[in-house]
Structure 1
């Protein structure tokens, strides 16, 4: 099984020698994403807005690989300040709604470019089933 690189045109260019994500079989793995606003290419530091941008940017990678919000299985989050936990939870709950992917959240000593958080997702390719057994 080969590994396919995923790049999303709507995202800022990676700041290192890596792709936005990879796909192997039906699994999609994103690289870490920090809160660069894709419209301005500037770092966002306000934690709620930064969380929203990171999750949205990661979802663009998942979608470019054939996944959807409801196929996200796990999110790893690294935060600069654990005091932001509650604000991140608020945005996270709003972003995912009733879908509750597994999550890992830990405080990190320092994050690239001085970002307030970095996150990555594991998702799966969305499967569309047209058989009668799936539609029942």
Structure 2
């Protein structure tokens, strides 16, 4: 049975989807934009600040499901500019430790609300 995972520590969904869905021992975390959940504002700083906010939001949904970032199995990162890849990669390393999750990173033509970065994840729940 699928269960909605929701937290006020991450921004509310900007469409007809859930922040996360738990199905058995698996959590699917929707793409997290760099929106500050306290203010509802999109990150306007540099790409490192924006990547940190996206990953903080992702971590909040993971934690709301009773897991930690060490339980993350797969991450997908979306970037509007692949020139930001190295910087985002450095920020990503602040949130994960070995063995690192599997990961894909894609350049996209655009992201919702003009974001420059978005991250989604699949998590194995304890």
Contact 1:27 1:122 in 2 (8 A): yes
CA distance in structure 1 between the partners assigned to 2:119 and 2:52 by the alignment: 11
Structure 2 partner of 1:24: 23
Deviation at 1:78, TM superposition (A): 0.7
Q: Corresponding residue for 1:43?
A: 42
TM score, norm. by length of structure 2: 0.94
Q: Which runs of 5+ in 2 are unaligned?
A: none
Take 2:42 and 2:77, find their aligned partners in 1: how far apart are those partners? 17
Residue of structure 1 equivalent to 2:64? 64
Pairing 1:1-136 to 2, within 5 Å after superposition: 2-45=1-44, 46-126=46-126
Alpha carbons 1:28, 1:67 under 8 Å: kept: no
Count of equivalent residues: 125
Unaligned runs of 5+ in 1: 127-136
Structure 1 stretches of 4+ with a deviation exceeding 6 A read none
Kindly indicate which of the two structures has a greater share of residues assigned to strand. 2
Question: Distance in 2 between the 1:94 and 1:17 partners?
Answer: 31
RMSD (Å), alpha carbons: 1.1
Query: What SS does the aligned partner of 2:49 have?
Result: helix
Q: Which shows bigger deviation, 17-26 or 94-103?
A: 94-103
TM-score for the superposition, normalised by structure 1: 0.87
Superimposed CA distance per residue, residues 13-61 of structure 1 (whole angstroms, 9 cap, x where no aligned partner) = 2110111010000000011111001222111142101111111111111
Query: Quick check: which has more Rg, 1 or 2?
Result: 1
